[in-house]
A and B are shown apart, each in its own frame.
Chain A
Amino acid sequence: MSDSVETAAVAAPVPTGQSGTVVRSTVMRRLIRNPMGIASLVILGSIALLAIFAPVLAPFEENFANITKTLAPADSVNILGTDSAGRDTWSRLLFGAQLTLLSAMLCAGVAIAIGLPAGLIAGYYAGKFEAVSNWVVSILMSLPGLIVLLTIRAAFGPSVWISMIAFGVLISPSYFRLTRTAVQSVRNELYVDAARVSGLSDWSIIARHIFSVIRAPIIIQTAAIAGVAIAIQSGLEFLGLGDPTKATWGVMLSEGFKNVYLTPTLLFWPALAMALTIGGLVLLGNAIRDALEDGEKIRHRKKRATLEGTTAAPAAGRPSRKAVAAVDAGTEHHLVKVTNLGVGYPQADGSVKKVVDDVSFHVDRGEILGIVGESGSGKSQTAFSILGLLPDNARIVGGAIQFDGSYTVAPGEERVNQDRLSKLRGKRISYIPQEPMSNLDPAFTIGYQLVTPMVRVLGISKEEARKRALKLLTDVGIVNPERTFSAYPHEVSGGMAQRVLIAGAISCEPDLVIADEPTTALDVTVQADVLDLLRELQQRLNIGIILVTHNFGVVADLCDRVAVMQNGRLVEEGSVRDILRNPKEQYTQTLLASMLEGKTPMSMLVSSQKEPVA
């Protein structure tokens, strides 16, 4: 959720080859390396030690009153002075720490004892138990803690322990919800299915696979809840509703507030103690979350393999920028020309991770260029740099992009020039995404999402745009355009949503369409229809298309020319017949050899032992 204060927005470098033994130890190590983590551990550790050894460290009993020495300033006997009854502030702070920490632990303990098992059962078995618990939780969550504690105090009298047990019950929904959500998400994970297939009992699955997931969130939650418990318990005591025989920070704060005109320092010490303790807990929670998220980030990045690529020093392998000073004469007629493009992501250690390196190609009007490659080849990053829609932390580390005779990325520029591109985007360059569903805003009707860009970009009236949108929907093969127009995205199928997105892409009659894996998320039969649609539109409107795909079949179906990419570099480029029939580069040959079409069934495809099986 949140980046740590120190590391800001830039992700930490991926520690490849790190021999992660046990997750816990890695988290612990990251926690200690984090200044926030170590600070919180030191603060909480010291307070805990002071509390444990309070009877030894405190020079006086907690209620020992020297009435001849009230509201005294600090001296060698009472190192923090005394209160209005002549009691030693330092001693009372120590005993207060003891009670405060114990009561916070009691509260968290009660909350865990109720919330955790209930959450496990509700999450794992669902059904009636979950329905009932959800209802109870919704009631508990709608009761303000302090009001409940006042009621408890009215019923049971002043007792730290009873009020903390009550608060534990009241706050147990936070553990319940946390556990239930975690269990629900894990329950449907494939590795739990695999464990079930292996015949693992429910308890073994919970112990092995589910506890490992919720352990850390529980610790984070406990830190937060302990802080809240301390705050609310002290608040109760501050109101004078605590146990008057006990020295607590809340009572001390109240005592200080009563004497605020005489000795405001009395206020300061309990306030400081509370802020330090609660602050320590908050910091600890944040630090653990950061430590866990670093691990998450690594996992996440491997998943989003498009971001992977060759790591190179900032300057290494960059072609001389000065060689491309202006739009080269004779290239103005190209619709798009990409010259020696490099895209990189600055890393925390100062290096730049290159995901696109020295890539050059061009597209003309009425032409379809396919960019083919596997995940991590940089094909999508290349496409997004033409659109100017790279992530914020991406940098152009080399080369230039020109569109219709002028630069959108001039040589030497670090970033895509948004001023130049925002005038082109939607109007002359448009985009067809991969996932149809996630690329429509679920809160607006399909009609609205088609009409608005036309109103903004073409400056036509809403009514005119509406007519056009209905026409477009018919053009992309939607049978009942009126109904689709007024539908919300979740009311249409994936195939239809993709047609809507295609309609949106051509709505302002662009010159160039960038289609990023436009058929990958669709079923094969739907894919064939969408490919037909793209071909028909492209021929009718005479637009240029850059088609990013991993599928050579799609390339063969649509493209005039094709560029093959690997690890951020362009491997080879040529007409579709040349590349598919006579690939020159080893990599293209390997890729084509991996195609199954036309292979002897059950033959080995790439392995060394070429002998057919069966």
Chain B
Amino acid sequence: MSTTQNAPLLTVDNLFVEYPSKKFRAKPFRALTDINITIGQGETLGLVGESGSGKTTLGRAVLGLAPVTGGKITFEGTDISHASRKQRRTLSRDLQVVFQDPYTSLNPALEIGDILAEPLGVQGMEPAAAKKRVKELLDQVGLPSDAIHRLPREFSGGQRQRVAIARALALSPKLIVCDEPVSALDLSTQARVLDLFLQIQKDTGVSYLFVSHDLDVVRHISHRVAVMYHGEIVEQGPAEVVTRDPEHPYTQRLLLASPVPDPDRQEQRRADRHRLLESQRHQIEQAGALA
């Protein structure tokens, strides 16, 4: 299924991320605590959690957009925890990103062609070669080649997300950090974009760090899944196991909270959820009584 037997592509060891507080002399805000993950080549690690759980911060730390205050991020054997802008430039050939909001992740003043050529230009590619590559990319993500001279505002959300994916693919990276890439999209668009992610992985063998709040999305796209809660990873393992038969109380709650599109099965799930909440409450009370 995947090639995790080889040395992992990305390793994160004991990662801490802290943001300095805005208030004078206040304690810094700790966004991530002791994070350990690995991603193999061609593998997708799904990262699921609620808002404020730190899942987006983890993706940003890997990209060098969040302050690493402890631990180590290793990409292909190199420590990139504190990579300089120059190292990032080299690294960007192999490590790319797709963001959540397709409306703000593309500069509204630039044509699609210029947006896609940006990473190519940074690597010193000739304009003519870059133009050829941009056409290939548009084709790869299923956009017409006349998109090259159009502005982002002329495209729908789903199409813009395809542009963002094309930008990430431009340098044929080995790992793409996907930060909630489908949560701003309509249901049917989400399905088509997920198909595109899967197709690209099949064709190019790229790895994904796939961040989402939606357990169903993560189950669908991931080989392995890590669950985040309050800045920590509370559970990780094969997607089937974590998303169907979770161990951690939070993941259990998360699974049963997500409604299913059938009234009778949903009624069942609702009952299961109430039972679970009851038993968890019971356990906490017992633990409190023991202490």
Contact = CB atoms under 8 A, between A and B. Distances in A.
Interface in B92-121: 92, 95-97, 99-101, 103-111, 115, 118-119
Contacts of A329: none
Nearest to B171: A198
The 4 closest A-B pairs by CB, nearest first: A199-B89, A553-B259, A552-B261, A594-B191
A325 interface: no
A523 B99 contact: no
B88 A199 contact: yes
Contact of B259 (A204, A208, A528): A528
A197 B153 contact: no
A592 B190 CA distance: 12
Q: How large is the interface on A (under 10, 10 to 19, 20 to 34, 35 or more residues)?
A: 35 or more
Interface centre among B95, B103, B107, B216 (most CB of A within 10 A): B107
Interface string B173-212: 0000000000000111111101100110110000000000
B219 A591 contact: no
A17 B149 CA distance: 12
Contact of B188 (A23, A201, A606): A606
Interface in A27-58: none
Nearest to A200: B122
Interface residues of B, number: 82
28 contacts: A189-B105, A191-B107, A191-B115, A193-B65, A196-B63, A196-B65, A196-B85, A198-B122, A199-B92, A200-B89, A201-B85, A208-B118, A212-B107, A295-B153, A299-B108, A299-B153, A524-B214, A532-B270, A553-B259, A556-B260, A576-B263, A591-B187, A593-B191, A596-B220, A602-B198, A602-B220, A604-B199, A606-B188
Contact of A601 (B63, B95, B192, B240): B240
Contacts of A595: 187, 216, 261
B82 to A, nearest CB: 15
Interface string A504-535: 00000000000000000001110110011000
Nearest to B266: A556
B103 to A, nearest CB: 6
A152 interface: no
Interface stretch (B67-75, B127-135, B250-258): B250-258
B234 interface: no
B91 interface: yes
Nearest to A562: B263
B9 interface: no
A286 B274 CA distance: 60
A556 B122 contact: no
B258 A605 contact: no
B265 to A, nearest CB: 8
A75 interface: no
Contacts of B265: 556
A577 B265 CA distance: 11
B64 A197 contact: yes
B257 A528 contact: yes
Given A299-B108, A523-B213, A613-B202, A528 B260 contact: no
B35 interface: no
Contacts of B240: 601
B213 A551 contact: no
A584 interface: no
Interface string B125-158: 0000000000000000000000001110110110
A609 B263 CA distance: 31
A186 to B, nearest CB: 9
Nearest to A375: B186
Nearest to A519: B259
B118 A198 contact: yes
A288 B26 CA distance: 45
B23 interface: no
Contact of B167 (A194, A298, A599): A194
A212 B187 CA distance: 34
A189 B104 contact: yes
A593 B260 CA distance: 13
B90 interface: yes
Contacts of B45: none
B10 to A, nearest CB: 14
B119 A198 contact: yes
A20 interface: yes
Contacts of B106: 191
A190 B102 CA distance: 9
Interface in A170-211: 189-191, 193-202, 204, 208-209
